[in-house]
Structure 1
Amino acid sequence: MEQKQTRYTWHKVFDSVTEAHEQVPPRKLKQLVLDGRSICFAHTASGFFALDDVCPHLGYSLSKGTTNYLDEVICPWHSYRYSMRDGRECEFRTRKAVLHPVELREEGVFVGIEQAAATI
């Protein structure tokens, strides 16, 4: 039986958690470009999240939107809401948003971009 093994290229996006808090205050979003990909980096009361900066509905930039207390990012165009925990749109009207792991390390804040899948 084949298993998909997920591997990430980790990108340092901030030198410290303090810098991340300063650059992206709570309830704010910031667009980052990693490996040529636009990423929406979010800060909520629950922590930091990263997802592709494209609304799965019609492709608008999610980093131009807002967040809410449910850890959802809200697209500014049609107000579709995507969970930053599992990527699902709150009313299941469109496909999931693509999420990326965020790691807080001693040497900074990192976002993982999935590499091509390997089968083992």
Structure 2
Amino acid sequence: MAALQWHKIAESPVELILADNNIAVIEVAGKKICLAALDGQWYGFAYKCPHASGIMANGYINAVGDVVCPLHRYRFSIRNGRNTSGEGYYLKTYPVELRPDGLYVGMAAPGLFGF
């Protein structure tokens, strides 16, 4: 597993602008990702659906904690990215930590050639 680089994304979660669906979009290291809070825990996940590139921020979080793609209603656990509607895709997830000095997201450190 690649080493993680931790990026501070907010001094406080209150700074994040959450849409009506409780999903925020942020840019970290030139990459858009989505953030959502569920049961007091923050989760990061891919901006686009792995199936047909639907914008996950335009979807919603259902009652069991799955993010639902707005295009074809594929569902993914925001906890681990597993597809919960049976199609076999995985949604990229990112660890998020609330620390005393702010909210951080972990992303894989670039390799030898910058990717």
Pairwise same-fold verdict (TM > 0.5): yes
Map of 1:52 onto structure 2: 46
Unaligned runs of 5+ in 2: none
- Corresponding residue for residue 31 of structure 1: 25
1:7 to 2:34 alignment: no
From 90, 94, 99, give the equivalent of 2:84.
90
Counterpart position of 1:76: 70
- In structure 1, how many angstroms separate the alpha carbons of the residues matched to 2:103 and 2:27? 15
Q: TM-score, normalized by length of structure 2?
A: 0.84
- Offset at residue 26 of structure 1 (A): 8.9
SS in 2 for 1:90: coil
Deviates more, 1:42-51 or 1:28-37: 42-51
Q: What is the CA–CA distance in structure 2 between the aligned matches of 1:19 and 1:69, rounded to whole Å?
A: 25
The structure showing larger relative contact order (alpha-carbon pairs under 8 Å, at least 6 residues apart) is: 1
49 and 92 in structure 1: CA distance in 2 versus 1, 3 angstrom threshold: same
1:111 to 96, 105, 112: 105
Q: Distance in 2 between matches of 1:26 and 1:84?
A: 17
RMSD: 2.2
Matched AA of 1:90: T
| Contact 1:24–1:43 (CA under 8 A) maintained in structure 2 | no
Q: Distance in 2 between matches of 1:59 and 1:26?
A: 21
Contact 1:82/1:88 (CA < 8 Å) preserved in 2?
Answer: yes
Contact kept, 8 Å, 2:21 with 2:59, in 1: the verdict is no
Aligned length: 112
TM norm structure 1: 0.81
